[in-house]
Amino acid sequence: MGIAEKFAEKFISAINSMTPDLADIYAGSHRQAMGDWHARQVAMVTASGAGSAILPGYHLAAMVADVAFVVNRLGVAGHGAGAILGYQAGRGDILGADDMAAIVLYWVGADDFTAAMKQAALGRTVAGFMPLVAGNPVAVNSGVHTMMGGLGYLAGQKVGSKAGAKAGGKLGAKVAGQLAAKLSAKLSGKVLSGFVPILGAVVAGGVNAWIVDGILDAAKDYYTDKLGILGGGAAGRALPGGA
């Protein structure tokens, strides 16, 4: 197993183990400006990545703690973006237990899932969604979970199967492969450059920034589609029950 595959496995495991306090994240982020929120989250992980690679030869152990810190920040950053967009759209708290898994799918390029979400945001019938109740937050969160399971992205779920209604599904092997491909070049550079003073710190900080920047962009895209389904976005206004 290569470096990217190992990190993808650890990354997915860390995402699946997250237990974010969504109410606390919403309270601490929803009134903030999106640009300020985005810049602050990227700056925090850039500093962490540089610190983990500052001593050549000792960076591998430090990177373990660094990855844990970055994944924790991803949860705060991604959900915070959703809190800001939900508040700005007049929908309040739209955060759900499966949102982080969905954001990761947007980030790695799970085109079947993102396409289904965008179809639902346009008011079109998609497996996992019933347009007549699409404006209901509980129904939408359940639909997100069902679609991820039906497309084979949740652990223990095969393509075409019906995911249970329980929220907070765990991402499975299918997304790990997509993530490994996305991270391959970035992670190899981060590990190898750690043996070179200064350069290692610059590259490590840059990789962390690239990950969090990408997750934040994915979160904005996902929550925009989710708001469309809820009726808070431009597409969502055409949905039955939309605002």
**pTM (predicted TM-score):** 0.80
Look at residue 117 and tell me whether its pLDDT is greater than 80: yes
CA–CA gap between residue 157 and residue 99 (Å, rounded): 18
Report residue 175 as tokens.
Answer: 């997304």
Nearest CA to 175 out of 198, 153, 205, 156 is that of 153
Q: What is the DSSP letter of 142?
A: H
171 SS3 class: strand
What is residue 124's predicted lDDT score, i.e. its pLDDT?
A: 79
CA–CA gap between residue 4 and residue 156 (Å, rounded): 23
What is residue 218's predicted lDDT score, i.e. its pLDDT?
A: 97
What is residue 157's predicted lDDT score, i.e. its pLDDT?
A: 55
Q: What is the DSSP letter of 33?
A: -
CB 143 within 8 A of CB 120: yes
What is residue 190's predicted lDDT score, i.e. its pLDDT?
A: 52
Question: For residue 101, what are the CA distances in angstroms to 14, 88, 155?
Answer: 11, 23, 11
Look at residue 119 and tell me whether its pLDDT is greater than 80: yes
CB 3 within 8 A of CB 179: no
Residue % of the chain over a pLDDT of 90:
35
Distance of CA 221 to the CA centre of its chain: 10
Q: pLDDT band at 161, cuts 50/70/90? A: very low
Highest mean pLDDT among 67-76, 88-97, 126-135, 189-198 belongs to 88-97
What is residue 136's predicted lDDT score, i.e. its pLDDT?
A: 82
What is residue 3's predicted lDDT score, i.e. its pLDDT?
A: 66
Q: Which residue is listed with tokens 């605002």?
A: 243
Average pLDDT over residues 218-243: 68
CA diameter of the chain: 59
Report residue 68 as tokens.
Answer: 């844990």
Q: pLDDT band at 132, cuts 50/70/90? A: low
Burial of 145 (0-12, 13-18, 19+ CB in 10 A): buried
Question: For residue range 32-68, what is the model confidence (pLDDT) as tens digits?
Answer: 999 999 999 988 877 654 444 444 444 444 444 456 6
Residue % of the chain over a pLDDT of 70:
67
CA–CA gap between residue 142 and residue 146 (Å, rounded): 6
Question: For residue 118, what are the CA distances in angstroms to 32, 163, 184, 224?
Answer: 26, 20, 28, 9
154 SS3 class: strand
